[in-house]
Structure 1
Amino acid sequence: MEIIQSGQFAPAADGSADFVEHLSVPSLSFGTYSIPAGAKDDQSPHNEDEIYVVTQGRGSFTAGGRTVEVGPGTTLFIPARQEHRFHDVTEDLVTLVFFAPAYSGIPQS
């Protein structure tokens, strides 16, 4: 068993969005993604399926031609290689992020 401290707002040192991986095993990985209010989410599609669970903040999310408002408790599933992005972040946003299989860090092929 591992106990992982996560879910706290932790943007990059320059105030931009930041992903921090907390756990990685071959079948899945887990991290947190912090996006300050007004910051840009410039991620690229991944080769892994992904689940976001919003724990703090508010904004919008677009994927698969659909846009939704997000806030605490919102859970999103994004299939591998699908374009997706958080935007119009009005309150500092914190998400728990799960990848399956484990996040490779390699952009979609």
Structure 2
Amino acid sequence: MEILDSGAFRPGPDGSAHYAEHLSVPALSFGTYSLPAGSTDDQSPHLQDEVYVVTRGRARFTSADRTVDVGPGTTLFVPARERHRFHDITEDVTALVFFAPAYGGVPAPAELD
């Protein structure tokens, strides 16, 4: 068993969005994504399936052609290679992020769009 330090809001050194990885094994990786209010989420699609669990903050989230309001407790699934982003961030957002397989590891089995 490992105890992981996660869920705390940690903006990047310049006050921008920040991702901190806490665990990585071949089948799964896990981290915390922090987005300050008013910031821009400029991430690109990933090669892995992804789950976000919002633990604090308020924003909107768009994935493919669907947009939803998010806040504490919102859980989002994003399939591999799907365009997605947080936007209209009105309160600092912290989200737990799970990638399967591990981020940077073997891509999920699917065709590139």
Residue in 2 aligned with 1:25?
Answer: 25
Question: Which amino acid is the alignment partner of residue 90 of structure 2?
Answer: T
Query: 1:1-109 residue pairs with structure 2 within 5 A?
Result: 1-104=1-104
Corresponding letter in the other structure for 2:91: E
Q: Secondary structure at the match of 1:67?
A: strand
Encode CA deviations 1:22-73: one digit per residue, 9 max, x unaligned: 0000000000000000000000000000000000000000002000000000
Structure 2 Cα separation of the partners of residues 12 and 92 of structure 1: 12
* Gapped regions of structure 2 (runs ≥ 5): 106-111
Q: TM-score, normalised by structure 1?
A: 0.95
Q: Which runs of 5+ in 1 are unaligned?
A: none
Equivalent residue pairs, number: 108
Dislocated runs of 4+, deviation >6 Å? none
Residues 57-106 of structure 1 deviation map (CA, whole Å, 9 limit, x = unaligned): 0000000200000000000000000000000000000000000000008x
For 2:85 and 2:12, the matched residues in 1 are separated by 18
Q: Please state whether the residue corresponding to 1:20 is helix, strand or coil.
A: strand
Aligned partner of 1:59: which letter? A
Among the aligned pairs, what percent are the same residue? Answer: 69
* Distance in structure 2 (CA, Å) of the matches to 1:63 and 1:95: 16
What is the root-mean-square deviation of aligned Cα atoms in Å? 1.6
The code of the aligned residue for 1:86 comes to F
**Tell me, what secondary structure is at the counterpart of 1:21?**
strand
Alignment TM-score, normalising by the size of structure 2: 0.92
